Chain A
Amino acid sequence: GNSVTQMEGPVTLSEEAFLTINCTYTATGYPSLFWYVQYPGEGLQLLLKATKADDKGSNKGFEATYRKETTSFHLEKGSVQVSDSAVYFCARVNQGGKLIFGQGTELSVKP
């Protein structure tokens, strides 16, 4: 099928900790992959994307590598800040051009 699976939250970390949010997908071919972030009470913002296998997307210290062998697009950041507290959504585009979202992972960073 066509789906995106994210690790369940909430994820609670201390400031400056290392972050990994797992995301795996099922797909035919190699769809574009995205990470969106939703801060409390706001809409979604594009965080980063990768359009082909082995691409690495990066933004604001976050990174994710498109790994076709493991059909994964895990989000990482070396040192999180309190301001990174938000819900993170992994997504892929299906053949009809629609975004398929994961269920979202809530991140809470404590000072």
Chain B
Amino acid sequence: SQTIHQWPATLVQPVGSPLSLECTVEGTSNPNLYWYRQAAGRGLQLLFYSVGIGQISSEVPQNLSASRPQDRQFILSSKKLLLSDSGFYLCAWSVRSSFTDTQYFGPGTRLTVL
């Protein structure tokens, strides 16, 4: 069966510090991968998605970036965090062959920027 992992689970970082969040998927090959952000009391915002190694599409302009160094690894980064980057970050995957298929979410990383 497929599983998706995210770490760390929680993170507290000062403004201006760098960020690296990691997501890995097991049990499937060539997945579509996604990063979402959920701000407190709000819905989900798609940040990035990837259809393959090194292929990243950005949905919103921000000081975040994403990379996919391996087929089942998706990394969210920032060089300098802003207060507004606080939120709950969710990684998700879906079957590569169909964008209309279900997306499966990881447990999330709660980021607090102080």
Main secondary structure of the interface of A (DSSP, over half): loop
Q: A89: CB under 8 A from chain B? A: yes
Q: Which of B43, B100, B101, B107 contacts A43 (CB 8 A)?
A: B107
Q: B83: CB under 8 A from chain A? A: no
Q: B17: CB under 8 A from chain A? A: no
Contacts A42-B107, A43-B107 given: A98-B49 contact, CB under 8 Å? yes
Chain B positions within 8 Å of A45 at CB level: 105
Contacts A51-B100, A96-B99 given: A103-B42 contact, CB under 8 Å? yes
Q: Are B43 and A102 in contact (CB under 8 A)?
A: yes
Q: Which of B43, B44, B49, B99 contacts A93 (CB 8 A)?
A: B99
Cα distance, A97 to B98, chains bound together (Å): 8
Other A-B pairs beyond A44-B92, A96-B99, A101-B44, 19, CB < 8 Å: A32-B101, A41-B110, A42-B107, A42-B108, A43-B6, A43-B90, A43-B106, A43-B107, A43-B108, A44-B105, A45-B105, A49-B102, A97-B98, A97-B100, A99-B34, A99-B46, A101-B43, A102-B43, A103-B42
